[in-house]
């Protein structure tokens, strides 16, 4: 670097530091970050009353509320199931079970139109008995018989949960069983009397992101304080966790140190000793029989052989740990295809390939030491998902098929055969034949082709008058795929609304490179892609700025916040849900530190120089005209701090902009802890959009 470049760079850093410090001092809304403080909650109550008072008075509100409530309470919805101990379990929420009921049945019963279910745990009754607002999180059962399970329950829907041991035969919590207090806990069974626990063990045992950095082995009948430490990560790591992976004939105990969102270290734990598994730190791993499966997120050159990012490799685990580096390539990406997921059954892998944002399945089996593959003749819909029924006992799996207009259907399938039995089909909640789905491509600022789907009435005119909502995510390598629109049929499509789903960079639609193209200093590319889609919709006269709205949640909330501040002329409505908006402070709020690998570090002046250019909270101006915004969030969201939405709404109101704000007191990052709350979200959101865009 030349001397004048060094001087200029130092000056820029100095200015960034000065601006950073001044911004720290000049934020008048820091008090809104006190989640449950009296003053912030008074502010929330006032905003909620004003917003709901306006929205509930709109004619569409009651209609949407009634139609969505009918759908979400319908007994004809598909009950998703998992198998434990030979029985099928389902967590079900309806009008009579607002918090939900955990229930079970047999496969023979499940195949019937009206299965006979046995209640295992009634969360509404439990919440009433214990005077707690319990929200179901998950269940972790001991292998292979699942006679004992750990039930994970959250207060209000946050990520933190309590852990309680449950006996499946008696359908009761075990009074003297394993229990853990509320925390962001990772827990797994080592055997019936031993747990692997990563939780808040006290001062110094959690990371800056609020997750555990210590994993211990805890024996039944001993206090948690006596648990034996197996591994301790660093304070600035994201988290640590442990698990025991079972596969026929093999069982492996692993400890994972998650350095950041995309960097991990994997250790094989045997005989009380840890051996690092020498895979790339950004790779994902699976096991099948004695094989180690490695899914690459970056290029890997080994012994003169190049393996591309996005590939799936297989090798013998024991030989690999002894130094062998011979791999079978089970999947290699193409410019239009990526590996969307891997399902492990008793003796096979189901590779879920995303090809131009549509799924297809491929089976992979190890036969006499050689991998064999077979394309699965699955229905040609938009999205396929495969879930192993019992990965230790069989090669059966449940295939779920769906797209924007066709209700989800599930089938019982088996590896090696294209014959399958239909299990359940959800009824149509709107007339899909009245609409059409098209895939278009927009050209982003740097020339990149960005695909997007458009769902609209077949009779719609291309005259720019169609009320249109554009949705995207664009982060954390998560693909946005076709899904059944369900409630949106009544809430939006039947009113002449057009729905658009954009597959912008930052997501995982085309593999790791599509994601990595928009991280850290390249984040603007995701925003440019989104804006390019908006411009393309207008150029095609599908809609116009007067009738175009945008919607996004979480990272998608950041996306629409950036679009709002960068191109307010393109839109007439913005729904910004559970958003990140103050990017200068995101790393200091709740789990925010864990996302530095995605966005960069705002405390580093060089990185703040590019983050600060798009951070919505720092870029909203009083002299700019903005479309009307509806901010939504949850008080109990312990992942993305509600302070982001609160402060942005307060700042925009102070500047004279027209905004609405609604904060649900429960629901966590999912925004709703019951059907009633979810129904209200639909009614609030789509009555707002209809008013603004029709």
Tokens of 634: 């949850």
Three-class secondary structure of residue 424 per DSSP? strand
* 595 φψ region: left (φ > 0), alpha (ψ -120 to 50), beta (else): alpha
DSSP symbols for 526-587 = HHHHHHHHHHHHHHTTS--GGGEEEEEETHHHHHHHHHHHH-GGG-SEEEEES----TTTGG
Q: Would you name the residues annotated as active-site residues?
A: 554, 669
Residues making up the chain, counted from first to last: 694
First to last CA, the chain: 55
Residue 306 makes CB contacts below 8 A (sequence gap 6+) with 299, 300
Residue 250 makes CB contacts below 8 A (sequence gap 6+) with 287, 289, 290
Residue 588 makes CB contacts below 8 A (sequence gap 6+) with none
Cis omega (within 30 of 0) for bond into 144: yes
DSSP code, position 507? B
The Cα 150–Cα 163 span in angstroms is: 6
69: nearest Cα among 103, 46, 98: 98
Cβ distance 376 to 351 under 8 Å?
A: no
Give CA 172 to chain center in angstroms.
Answer: 31
Strands (E), 156-224: 161-167, 172-173, 179-183, 186-191, 194-198, 214-219
Tokens of 529: 């892609």
Residue 209 makes CB contacts below 8 A (sequence gap 6+) with 238, 239, 591, 592, 593, 594
DSSP code, position 505? B
Query: At residue 656, what are phi and psi to the nearest 5 degrees?
Result: 95, 10
Residue with the two structure tokens 């948690």:
224
Tokens of 15: 């200015």
DSSP code, position 226? G
Provide the 10 A C-beta neighbour count for residue 462.
Answer: 11
Strands 305-307 and 337-344: unpaired
Cβ distance 97 to 123 under 8 Å?
A: yes
* Burial profile 352-383: b = 16 or more Cβ within 10 angstroms, e = fewer: bbbeebbbbbbbbbbeeeeeeeeebebeebbb
The strand order across the sheet containing 449-457 reads: 435-443, 449-457, 498-502, 468-471, 548-553, 573-577, 628-634, 659-664
Strands (E), 210-262: 214-219, 228-232, 239-247, 250-260
Query: At residue 91, what are phi and psi to the nearest 5 degrees?
Result: -105, 125
DSSP code, position 460? -
């Amino acid at each position: 670097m030349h001397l004048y470049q060094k001087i200029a760079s130092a000056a820029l850093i100095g200015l960034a530091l000065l601006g950073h410090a001044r911004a720290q001092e000049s934020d008048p809304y820091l008090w809104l970050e006190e989640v449950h403080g009296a003053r912030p909650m008074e502010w929330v109550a006032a905003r909620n009353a004003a917003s709901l008072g306006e929205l509930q008075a709109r004619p569409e509100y009651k209609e949407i509320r009634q139609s969505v409530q009918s759908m979400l309470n319908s007994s004809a919805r598909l009950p998703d199931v998992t198998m434990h101990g030979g029985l099928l379990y389902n967590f079900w929420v309806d009008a009579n079970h607002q918090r939900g009921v955990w229930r079970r049945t047999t496969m023979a019963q499940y195949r019937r139109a009206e299965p006979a279910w046995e209640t295992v745990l009634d969360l509404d009754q439990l919440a009433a008995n214990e005077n707690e607002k319990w929200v179901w999180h998950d269940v972790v059962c001991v292998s292979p018989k699942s006679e004992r399970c750990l039930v994970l329950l959250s207060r209000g829907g946050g990520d933190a949960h309590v852990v309680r041991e449950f006996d499946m035969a008696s359908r009761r919590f075990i009074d003297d069983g394993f229990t853990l207090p509320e925390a962001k806990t990772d827990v797994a069974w080592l055997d019936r009397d031993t747990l692997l626990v990563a939780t808040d063990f006290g001062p110094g045992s959690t990371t800056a992101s609020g997750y555990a950095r210590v994993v211990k082995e805890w024996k039944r009948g001993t206090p948690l304080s006596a648990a034996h430490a197996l591994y301790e990560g660093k304070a600035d790591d994201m988290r640590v966790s442990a698990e025991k992976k079972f596969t026929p004939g093999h069982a492996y105990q692993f400890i994972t140190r998650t350095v950041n969102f995309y960097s991990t270290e994997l250790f094989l734990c045997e005989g009380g000793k840890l051996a690092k598994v020498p895979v790339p730190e950004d790779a994902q791993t699976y096991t099948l029989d004695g094989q180690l499966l490695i899914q690459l997120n970056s290029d890997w050159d080994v012994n003169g052989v190049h393996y591309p990012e996005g590939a799936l490799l297989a090798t013998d685990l024991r030989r690999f740990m002894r130094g062998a580096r011979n791999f079978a390539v089970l999947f290699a990406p193409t410019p239009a295809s990526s590996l969307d997921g891997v399902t492990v059954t008793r003796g096979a892998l189901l590779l879920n390939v995303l090809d131009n944002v549509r799924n297809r399945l491929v089976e992979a089996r190890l036969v006499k030491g050689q991998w064999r593959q077979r394309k699965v003749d699955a229905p040609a819909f938009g999205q396929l998902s495969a879930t192993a029924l019992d990965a230790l006992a069989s090669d059966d799996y449940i295939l779920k098929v769906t797209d924007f207009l066709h209700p989800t259907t599930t089938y019982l399938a088996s590896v090696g055969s294209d014959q399958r039995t239909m299990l359940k089909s959800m009824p149509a909640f709107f007339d899909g034949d009245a609409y059409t789905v098209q895939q278009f491509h927009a050209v982003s600022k740097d020339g990149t082709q960005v695909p997007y789907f458009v769902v609209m009435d077949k009779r719609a005119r291309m005259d720019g008058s169609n009320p249109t909502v554009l949705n995207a995510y664009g982060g954390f390598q998560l693909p946005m795929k076709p899904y059944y629109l369900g409630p949106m049929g009544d809430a939006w499509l039947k009113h002449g609304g057009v729905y658009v789903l954009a597959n912008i960079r930052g997501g995982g639609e085309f593999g790791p490179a599509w994601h990595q193209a928009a991280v850290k200093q390249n984040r603007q590319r995701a925003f440019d892609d989104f804006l390019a889609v908006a411009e393309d919709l207008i150029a095609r006269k599908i809609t116009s700025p007067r009738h175009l709205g945008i919607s996004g949640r979480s990272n998608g909330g950041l996306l629409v916040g950036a679009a709002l501040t960068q191109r307010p002329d393109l839109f007439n409505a913005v729904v910004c849900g559970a958003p990140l908006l103050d990017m200068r402070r995101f790393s200091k709020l709740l789990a925010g530190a864990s996302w530095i690998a995605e966005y960069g570090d705002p405390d580093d002046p060089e990185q703040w120089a590019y983050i600060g250019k798009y951070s919505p909270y720092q870029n909203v101006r009083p002299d700019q005209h903005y479309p009307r915004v509806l901010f939504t969030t949850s008080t109990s969201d312990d992942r993305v701090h509600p302070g982001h939405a609160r402060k942005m709404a307060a700042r925009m109101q102070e500047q004279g902009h027209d905004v609405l704000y609604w904060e649900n007191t429960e629901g966590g990052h999912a925004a709703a802890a019951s059907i009633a709350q979810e129904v209200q979200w639909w009614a609030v959101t789509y009555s707002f959009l209809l008013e603004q865009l029709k």
